[in-house]
Amino acid sequence: MSAILDKILSDREKFVCTVKTLGACKLPSPVRHRKYVAEGERVFATESESYARFAETKLGHMPTFEKAGPKEMIFHDPRWTRVGIVTAGGLCPGLNTVIKGLVEILEFDYGVKKVFGIRYGYAGLNPKYGYEPMLLNPDAVDTIHEAGGTVLGSSRGQQPADVMVDTLERMNINVLFCIGGDGSLRCASDIAAEVLKRGLKISVVGIPKTIDNDLMFVGRSFGFESAVAQAAEVIRSAHVEAKGTPHGIGLVKLMGRDSGFIAASATVANPVVNFCLVPEVKFELEGERGLLRALERRFAAGKSHAVIVAAEGAGQELMEGAEERDASGNILKKDIGEFLKRRISAHFKEKGFNASVKYIDPSYIIRSCPARGTDAIRCYELARAAVHAAMAGRTDCVVGNIGESFALVPIALATIERQKLDTDGQSWRSVLDATGQEFYFNGVSRNLFAGDAFAP
């Protein structure tokens, strides 16, 4: 976190905590019987004590963000408001719940009738693809939250900002909601910048969609809890498979290109995992402190099976190959799951030891499930906060939650750097306690393994 603050301090003009506005709010809000958020009401940027102390030292004050919620006065006239909603990037649990929330709050709270669903991500704002928008209303979205994915479709990659703003102008859209991760939000910021450059009055508000939970300053992203719940079930299956054969190894690859939040949380949610591998913690494969030796030690201790969970971005330094990128500019990770399956199988075969590796990659199953429980509630609350922000003329921002409050964060700040798992924090400590992997990686007293071929 300190490195991120240093980056912010190096360019204070770019990375500020104040959200852009289109102008003064002069219209009485139609939202009634609510506690309005006062102008200037703000919330602290974090609940972390160490971050708070560091910020106090560096900045002389604790950074704060504008508190989200309904305003007594608004900028956009609901009678003339036309809204666009776009979902971009990979699928994530809860997309349909967010869309449903946006549509219902726009109509029920503000009386906005013209809401357009932009098809297939930002490509839907480029006329060369010919995707027709969908007209959305409460009846059309009534049950979409029960299904996974997005009724609008999605795609990766940006489109030219000037072309997309031309489309918004032609459609007379003055509010655009962009549901996406860091790359999609940067594209939303480009749209907002082009809008302001032209002197237009179009609010561009983001809703953070990152199944990896790697956006900064927005709290836990929607879809994360559902992904963890689904992943925990997959781990259960891997455990059953591993126990079903002598010296079975259940290997599960989970999402997490640069951040190991899902792998770590799923491991603690279903603590039958013996090794959790994440991008933030480098590990060795060979040698006395390598994974292969650690597996030997586990079997030598009389254990009949092992379960390994690996985030997709773990162990990249162990594999060879040229760097490639996807349409959104993200580095395509080499397949750690297939790599480990091959190397573990080959290693025990060379040792003349009967070990069976059962490899499961459930990524698309997890991404496509609907949001559940409190995760679905988070989807709706984020949608609500986004609508209130947009109608008040806020732009180039993303909504998030910090503690008990929802806040508006400038997109430049939310995408400044990917959020990482704190390997000194309680979450990772819980993983180490649940797995006992340090025990196997570092070795134990020789007499526990007396007479075993794999004893250290």
Mapping DSSP onto H, E and C, the string for 270-329 reads CCCCCEEECCCCCCECCCCCEHHHHHHHHHHCCCCEEEEEEECCCCHHHCCCCCEECCCC
- Is-contact 361 333, C-beta < 8 A? no
State whether 302 and 404 are in the same domain: no
453: in domain: no
pLDDT of residue 70: 94
Structure tokens of 264? 């770590």
pLDDT value, residue 14: 43
Instruction: Tell whether 58 and 207 lie within a shared domain.
Output: yes
What residue numbers bound the domain in which 316 lies? 224-368+422-442
Question: What is the rounded distance in angstroms from the CA atom of residue 365 to the CA atom of residue 375?
Answer: 17
The CATH code of the domain that includes 273 is 3.40.50.460
212 belongs to the catalytic site: yes
Q: Are residues 286 and 160 in the same domain?
A: no
Beta bridge partners of 277: 310
- Could you read off the pLDDT tens digit of each residue along the chain, which spans 456 residues? 455 555 555 544 444 678 999 999 999 999 987 789 888 888 776 655 555 555 555 555 567 889 999 999 999 999 999 999 999 988 999 999 999 999 999 999 999 999 999 999 999 999 999 999 999 999 999 999 999 999 999 998 889 999 999 999 999 999 999 999 888 999 999 999 999 999 999 999 999 988 777 777 778 888 889 999 999 999 999 999 999 998 999 999 999 888 899 999 999 999 999 999 999 999 999 999 999 999 999 999 889 999 999 999 999 999 987 666 666 566 678 899 999 999 999 999 998 888 899 999 998 889 889 998 999 999 999 999 999 999 999 999 999 887 778 999 999 888 877 778 888 889 999 999 999 999 899 876 433 444 444 444
> Are 441 and 289 contacting, i.e. CB atoms less than 8 angstroms apart?
yes
Residue in the block written with tokens 């953070």:
208
Are 29 and 80 part of one and the same domain? yes
**Same domain for 144 and 125:** yes
Could you tell me if 311 and 211 lie in one domain?
no
Q: Does any domain span residue 8?
A: yes
Check residue 170 and give left, alpha or beta (phi > 0: left; psi -120 to 50: alpha).
alpha
- 249 and 382 co-located in one domain: no
Q: Compute how many other C-beta atoms are within 10 angstroms of the C-beta atom of residue 444.
A: 14
Residues 6+ apart with CB under 8 A from 414: 182, 185, 206, 208, 215, 216, 217, 218, 398, 400
Please check whether residue 452 lies inside any domain of the structure. no
Task: Give yes or no: residues 244 and 358 share one domain.
Answer: yes
pLDDT of residue 446: 36
308 and 326 both lie in a single domain: yes
Q: Is residue 456 part of a domain?
A: no
Give residue for tokens 């506690």. 35
Q: Domain check: are 109 and 51 in the same one?
A: yes
Q: Are 105 and 96 in contact (CB under 8 A)?
A: no
* Domain-located, residue 451: no
**Whether residues 247 and 275 fall in one domain:** yes
Does residue 450 sit within a domain?
no
Rg of the chain on CA atoms, in Å: 24
Question: Do 216 and 270 share a domain, yes or no?
Answer: no
Q: Is residue 447 part of a domain?
A: no
HEC profile of the chain: CHHHHHHHHHCCCCCCCCCEECCCCCEECCCCCCCCCCCCCEEECCCCHHHHHHHHHHHCCCCEEEECCCCCEECCCHHHCEEEEEECCCCCCCHHHHHHHHHHHHHHHHCCCEEEEECCHHHHHCHHHCCCCEEECCCCCCCHHHCCCCCCCCCCCCCCHHHHHHHHHHCCCCEEEEEECHHHHHHHHHHHHHHHHCCCCCEEEEEECCCCCCCCCCCCCCCHHHHHHHHHHHHHHHHHHHHCCCCEEEEEEECCCCCCHHHHHHHHHCCCCCEEECCCCCCECCCCCEHHHHHHHHHHCCCCEEEEEEECCCCHHHCCCCCEECCCCCEECCCHHHHHHHHHHHHHHHCCCCCEEEEECCHHHHHCCCCCHHHHHHHHHHHHHHHHHHHCCEECEEEEEECCEEEEEEHHHHCCCCCCCCCCCHHHHHHHHHHCHHHHHHCCCHHHHCCCCCCC
Number of structural domains in the chain: 2
Q: Is residue 454 part of a domain?
A: no
- Indicate the residue type of 106: L
pLDDT (0 to 100) of residue 219: 80
Question: CATH number for the domain including 377?
Answer: 3.40.50.450
Q: Which residues pair with 116 in a beta bridge?
A: 84, 135
Residue of 182, 212, 214, 396 marked catalytic? 212
